[in-house]
Amino acid sequence: MTPTPTTVPSEGHDRGPLELAQCDEGTLLGMLDELERRHGYIPRDVSDQLARLIDMRLEKIQRIQGKLDSTLRRDVLRHVDAWRDEEGNLIMILHAIQNEYGYVPREAAMELSRELGVKLARIYEVLTFYHYFKLQPPGRHTVVVCNGTACYLKGATDLINELRTRLGIAEGQTTPDRAFHFDVVRCIGCCGMSPALVVDGKTHGRVKSSEISALLEEARKKDAAR
């Protein structure tokens, strides 16, 4: 008797293999998270099915794109050679790539997959599991709000909500024009000047939500002066 193909529930519906094949890799990876939240585990057959679909989609993209940028390939190979024989080298190489580019380009993940013999699905699994890694180019300016205990009690939530409104994005996102990347962290070690936030590496303490607009405008003026 032929087993029934596994379907993946999403937003109250079951998606079969044909519909899954039309999803992008981000949607497929999101389904894994949804399964784990709803059921407490991810069935092995579902995980394997999604992994195969992700590999197929990314390999197709690689064929369409043709040759990788020679500079990017050279940079990836340099990091691979530096860590090739080290245990746990995948994460270290991804860190090195992000430190150089500010994020991990899709093409770099593809080249890394080929050089290390690691499935692309596995690389994206690591990239999406660790919040440190970014899959999109960072903004020209970075705004980080501290949401540690002291800052939370002093009004960090107001700063976060004001930035969401002013920038039109949520934490962890970048504005469409790549001007600002907005993030929230647990603590920046400035409890004595809470609530605090950091703009382009500069810490601002005892910030009021009414001051957010001026801080963003100051950053924009730097772009105009360049």
* Residue 99: predicted pLDDT: 86
Count of domains forming the chain:
3
Model pTM greater than 0.85? no
Task: Tell whether the model's pLDDT for residue 216 goes beyond 90.
Answer: yes
Q: What is the mean pLDDT of the chain?
A: 81
Domain that holds residue 120: 70-129
At residue 68, the pLDDT reads 55
Per-residue pLDDT tens over the stretch 3-26: 444 444 444 344 444 444 455 555
Round to whole Å and give the CA distance between 112 and 128: 16
Task: Identify whether residues 162 and 185 lie together within a single domain.
Answer: yes
3-state secondary structure of 185: strand
Sequence-distant (6+) residues with CB within 8 A of 209 are 155, 158, 159, 161, 162
In this structure, are 79 and 93 located in the same domain?
A: yes
For residue 212, being part of any structural domain is answered with yes
Residues 6+ apart with CB under 8 A from 24: 57
